[in-house]
Amino acid sequence: MNDIECATDFAWLPKVELHCHIEGTMRPATVVDLAVANDIELPTRDVESLFQYEDLTGFLDVFWLVQSVLATPDDWERLAFESMIDGAAHGLRYREAFFTPARHLAAGQDLGEIIAALDRGLDMAERITRARCALILDFDRDFGAAAADAHMTELVSLKRAGRPGTERVIGIGMDSTELGVDPMSFVSAYSQAPEAGLRRTAHQGENSGADAIRAAVDGLGCERIDHGISIFEDPELVRRFADEQIPLTVCPNANVRINPGVVADLGDHVFPIMRDADLLATLNTDDPALVGLDLDQEYALCAETFGYDTGDMVAIALDAACASWLDDCDASVLMVEIKAAAAGAARAAADARSAAEARPLMPLSA
Ligand code: ADE
Ligand code: ZN
């Protein structure tokens, strides 16, 4: 729910989202419901004022508060179900969603139960919508490298045991505070990924420098970077990302709302410069409920602000399918669907134009 008005509408465009925290999709009403059910104190039950913050630190406090209401497997299941129902309503067809269970595991929850519950909720939503969702286990940097190591070991053993839902977990990432954290301190957890068949990404360059982006790619083996907006500090790295088409999962509106000290206005965002530099830069919401906009609005606001036409937005949607961790066959199916929707939208626009031209003019004095 939000009050953003966009002149354009991309609900018709099948969209792929690669940077979205499932906890950040939680409906405000669900936050309140779960807080009451689990006896967790909220600063307010006024859904409008619950999601208020001034900067990344304040935002993370709200994010952690939202996470804290997830106390039982049923809560995770409900979150996953509602998340995909809400996404699909705005043209989402495929998402690779982060979940960050560090604080829940520290509080005694069980990783296998969390994954199974997320899987149940996603499965139910997938039966109702045409949208699909894979999961990425994010390490919370605030909990440190030892916790990441332990979570990685647990994930690998759950996957090896074929525990329910673990086939949905296709990769690892890390989020939360970037400043003052050396990405290389997480090398032990990341180095276990290839053998377990897990893909690798990391939040870097949201408020860390290009050196941290480079370390994530070279030192941790990341195949994608989440945010990456500081990449232009290092022109050689920009060329490398363009040459190797290393994807960046960019969240322009979230950057403005969460981090106005870094990106004051959507018009100041480097997203169009990334696209002009041939970077594989995709559009994402990050935390749609907390940021107050859906993926359709993300596309519409970026189109309006950066002067993109329908063809540009279709190209961005296709790039997201290409940057996904789907196998080639499934990615191609999505691309065909995106192209078919684009062709349909072009036909509808042409029909509307000819209908308008064929309409007889109203006489002035009828
Ligand atoms: N967790 C959820 N959203 C985040 C963001 N934008 N940056 C870091 N950690 C996050
Ligand atoms: Zn994020």
> pLDDT tens digits for 272-315?
999 999 999 999 999 999 999 999 999 999 999 999 999 999 99
Q: Residue 365 has what pLDDT? A: 61
Closest ligand to residue 224's CA? 2
Q: Is residue 260 part of a domain?
A: yes
CA–centroid distance, residue 21 to ligand 2 (Å): 6
Distance of CA 183 to the CA centre of its chain: 20
Mean pLDDT of the chain: 95
Residue 36: CATH number of its domain: 3.20.20.140
Cβ-based neighbour number of residue 282 at 10 Å: 28
pLDDT band at residue 7 under the 50/70/90 scheme: low
Q: Which atom of ligand 1 is nearest to the CA of 175?
A: 9
**pLDDT > 70: what percent of the chain?**
97
Extended beta strands in the chain, E state? 15-21, 92-99, 132-140, 169-175, 199-204, 224-227, 248-250, 281-283
Q: Is residue 336 part of a domain?
A: no
Ligand 1 site, residue 21, Cβ cutoff 6 A: yes
Q: Residue 20 has what pLDDT? A: 98
pLDDT in tens, 150-194: 999 999 999 999 999 999 999 999 999 899 999 999 999 999 999
Q: What is the mean pLDDT of residues 39-44?
A: 92
Q: Which atom of ligand 1 is nearest to the CA of 251?
A: 6
CA–centroid distance, residue 341 to ligand 2 (Å): 28
Ligand 1 site, residue 75, Cβ cutoff 6 A: no
**pLDDT > 90: what percent of the chain?**
88
| Distance of alpha carbon 128 from alpha carbon 118, whole angstroms | 16
Ligand 1 site, residue 140, Cβ cutoff 6 A: no
For atom 8 of ligand 1, which residue has the closest CA? 176
- Count of structural domains within the chain: 1
Extended beta strands in 92-168, E state? 92-99, 132-140
Q: Residue 181 has what pLDDT? A: 95
Ligand 1 site, residue 241, Cβ cutoff 6 A: no
Q: Is residue 335 part of a domain?
A: no
Q: Is the pLDDT reported for residue 366 higher than 60? A: no
Q: Is the pLDDT reported for residue 61 higher than 60? A: yes
pLDDT in tens, 188-215: 999 999 999 999 999 999 999 999 999 9
Is 206 designated active site?
yes
Q: Is residue 175 part of a domain?
A: yes
Ligand 1 site, residue 286, Cβ cutoff 6 A: yes
Q: Is residue 182 part of a domain?
A: yes
Q: Residue 48 has what pLDDT? A: 73
Q: Is the pLDDT reported for residue 261 higher than 70? A: yes
Q: Is residue 334 part of a domain?
A: no
For atom 9 of ligand 1, which residue has the closest CA? 176
Decide if 60 contacts 13 (C-beta within 8 A): no
Domain containing residue 95: 15-328
Q: Is residue 363 part of a domain?
A: no
Q: What is the mean pLDDT of residues 215-234?
A: 98
Q: Is residue 355 part of a domain?
A: no
Q: Which of 23, 77, 82, 206 is catalytic?
A: 206
Ligand 1 site, residue 63, Cβ cutoff 6 A: yes
Q: Is the pLDDT reported for residue 231 higher than 60? A: yes
Q: Residue 1 has what pLDDT? A: 43
Give the neighbor-by-neighbor strand order of the sheet with 15-21: 15-21, 92-99, 132-140, 169-175, 199-204, 224-227, 248-250, 281-283
